[in-house]
């Protein structure tokens, strides 16, 4: 399929460009077919939030980076959608926080694992965990493909970043004592609610912001990082995100009729 060049003045250019990245990722075997649908759900929530990073998402990003910098063994779990959208940022964040990248797929196929591995290596990753040739263990609480984890990665991790995750796995990771961070545009998903820190934002905006914060915060004393994590209240943050979506939506139609900015 030929890549569509979205005209620079198209009002929905940013959203359509992201869509093209996902389609391209699907053609390269990086994104699962179900990943296209998952992306559509994300787009709908992004629309509701105004397609911008709000102050609550920034707070969550800061707390997430602080938790990763404080962790003894942080790990970044990588699936097809995350890899297609932000491979460079995943590699940068991994280096800045000393968190290895681990491929962990819901819709596992060997060719997908290879495609994701290649994309991460091209983005500059020096080491990638979770591949079939590596030692692995299973999470007993889980029945999906994602139960298999790298023995040196998620199995031993204390803090796991799981962007765009399904609820069962998040619940299972919590059940085995992990501190879970997610990026999920749906503040009502089970993943958002079970996680310790949920960043309600599009991964295309949140990942570069996390990289920026990691650069700024990497030499901070642990007391300062601890304060950020301890003062973060996930439940409160999610409730604010839902009310921001409600407010945003309730102004949309009138603003369009009046020609005002919402």
Judged by the rule CB under 6 A, the positions of this chain that interact with ligand PTJ are 32, 34-35, 38-39, 41-42, 45, 79-81, 85, 105-107, 164-166, 183-186, 189, 202-203
* Bridge pairing between strands 179-183 and 197-199: parallel
**Shortest distance, position 53 Cβ to ligand PTJ, whole Å:** 11
Q: How far is the CB of 222 from ligand PTJ (least distance, A)?
A: 29
CB of 33 to ligand PTJ, least distance (A): 9
CB-closest chain residue to ligand PTJ: 42
Q: Could you tell me the smallest distance in angstroms from the CB atom of residue 230 to ligand PTJ? A: 25
User: 229 is written with which tokens?
Assistant: 């994590």
- Show the tokens assigned to 156: 């031993």
Tally of CB atoms within 10 A around 106:
18
Torsion 210-40-191-246 (CA) sign = positive
Cβ distance to ligand PTJ smaller for residue 150 or 225: 150
Cβ atoms of residues 149 and 138 within 8 Å:
yes
Q: How far is the CB of 153 from ligand PTJ (least distance, A)?
A: 15
The residue assigned the tokens 């391209």 is 24
Which residue blocks in the chain are alpha helix, DSSP H?
Answer: 13-27, 33-49, 55-70, 80-85, 87-97, 110-122, 167-175, 190-194, 203-217, 222-230, 234-258
Q: Which is nearer to ligand PTJ, 51 or 220 (CB)?
A: 51
What is the chain's Cα-based Rg?
18
Q: Using CA of residue 89, residue 90, residue 93, residue 94, what is the dihedral sign?
A: negative
Q: What is the 8-class DSSP label of residue 195?
A: S
Residue 47 CB, shortest distance to ligand PTJ, in Å, is 11
Q: Which is nearer to ligand PTJ, 71 or 206 (CB)?
A: 206
Q: Which is nearer to ligand PTJ, 35 or 153 (CB)?
A: 35
């Amino acid at each position: 399929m030929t890549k569509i060049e979205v005209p620079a003045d198209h009002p929905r250019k940013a959203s359509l460009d992201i869509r093209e990245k996902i389609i391209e990722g699907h053609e390269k075997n990086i994104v699962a077919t179900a990943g296209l649908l998952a992306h559509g759900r994300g787009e709908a929530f992004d629309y509701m939030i105004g397609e911008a990073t709000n102050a609550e998402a920034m707070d969550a990003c800061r707390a997430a980076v602080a938790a990763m910098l404080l962790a003894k063994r942080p790990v970044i779990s990588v699936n097809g959608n995350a890899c297609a959208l932000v491979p460079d940022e995943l590699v940068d964040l991994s280096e800045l926080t000393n968190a290895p990248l681990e491929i962990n797929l819901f819709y596992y196929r060997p060719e997908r694992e290879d495609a994701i591995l290649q994309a991460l290596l091209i983005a500059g990753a020096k080491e990638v965990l979770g591949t079939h040739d590596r030692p692995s263990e299973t999470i007993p609480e889980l029945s999906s493909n994602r139960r298999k984890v790298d023995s040196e990665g998620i199995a031993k991790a204390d803090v796991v970043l799981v962007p765009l995750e399904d609820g069962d796995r998040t619940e299972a990771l919590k059940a085995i004592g992990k501190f879970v961070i997610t990026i999920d545009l749906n503040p009502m998903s089970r993943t958002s609610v079970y996680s310790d820190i949920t960043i309600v934002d599009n991964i295309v905006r949140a990942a570069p912001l996390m990289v920026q914060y990691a650069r700024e915060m990497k030499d901070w004393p642990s007391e300062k990082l601890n304060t950020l994590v301890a003062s973060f209240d996930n439940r409160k943050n999610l409730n604010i995100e839902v009310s921001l979506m409600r407010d945003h939506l309730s102004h949309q139609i009138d603003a369009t009729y009046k020609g005002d900015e919402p």
